[in-house]
Chains A and B, each alone.
Chain A
Amino acid sequence: QLQLQESGPGLVKPSETLSLTCTVSGGSISSSSYYWGWIRQPPGKGLEWIGSIYYSGSTYYNPSLKSRVTISVDTSKNQFSLKLSSVTAADTAVYYCARQKIGADYWGQGTLVTVSS
C-alpha cells in the first residue's frame, strides 16, 4: 500500500523559507505514470495546488506562487521536497503531498505550517 508522509518544521518566521519533504513508501517515485504534487489548505478554507514534479525533475508551478516555489525530487531516497520563500502569514496552511494522475489518489496526512514570529 502506497504511503506518503510530509515532514518539516511546523513553525516558520515571516520572510523565511518554508521547507517540507514528502517521503513515499510502498511504491516507487520513479513510476512513469504519475506526477507528485504539493497542495495546501489554509485553516477553514479550500484547497490550492502549489506545484508538481515528475521523477525526471520536470516541474510545474501555480503561477500565483511561481516566483517563490521550488520543488525537487530525490529518486534515490524516494522523496520530493517543497521550498516556499519569503513566507507571510497568508502562507499558514496545512500542506499536503499527493500522487497525481487526473485525480490525486494518494495523499499524505498533511502537516500544519504556521508562519509567525
Chain B
Amino acid sequence: DIQMTQSPSSVSASVGDRVTITCRASQGISSWLAWYQQKPGKAPKLLIYAASSLQSGVPSRFSGSGSGTDFTLTISSLQPEDFATYYCQQANSFPALTFGGGTKVEIK
C-alpha cells in the first residue's frame, strides 16, 4: 500500500505570508496527486488535481508542484479564508485513494 506523509502537521502563519506544505509518497505515483482544503464541519474541497492543475473556481494563489514521490502545495499570499486543514491524496491506484495525515494552517 502507498503511504502519504505530510509535513508539517501544523503551521502558524500571518495574512499575506507564503505557506508551503509538502507531501511525500512511499513510492512513485507520477502526477497522480490531489490537494484538498477542509474547514471545520465542512466536506473537503478539491484545490489541485494531477499534482499541478488548479480546480475550476480555486484562486490562483494556490499552486501545486512535484511528481514521483515529492509534492508541494503553495499558498502565495495567505488570506483570512485560507485558515483550514489541508490534505494530500494519491490516486496512483485509482479508484483506491490514500490521504495524507493533514496540515492545519493556523493564525499566528
Contact = CB atoms under 8 A, between A and B. Distances in A.
A7 interface: no
B83 interface: no
Given A35-B95, A60-B95, A46 B101 contact: yes
A102 B102 contact: no
A35 B33 CA distance: 16
A26 interface: no
Interface residues of A, number: 24
Given A102-B94, A103-B36, 13 more contacts: A35-B95, A48-B99, A49-B98, A60-B95, A100-B95, A102-B50, A103-B48, A103-B49, A103-B89, A107-B43, A107-B44, A109-B42, A110-B43
Interface of A: 35, 37, 39, 46-49, 52, 54, 60, 62-63, 96, 98, 100-105, 107-110
A37 B49 contact: no
Nearest to B94: A102
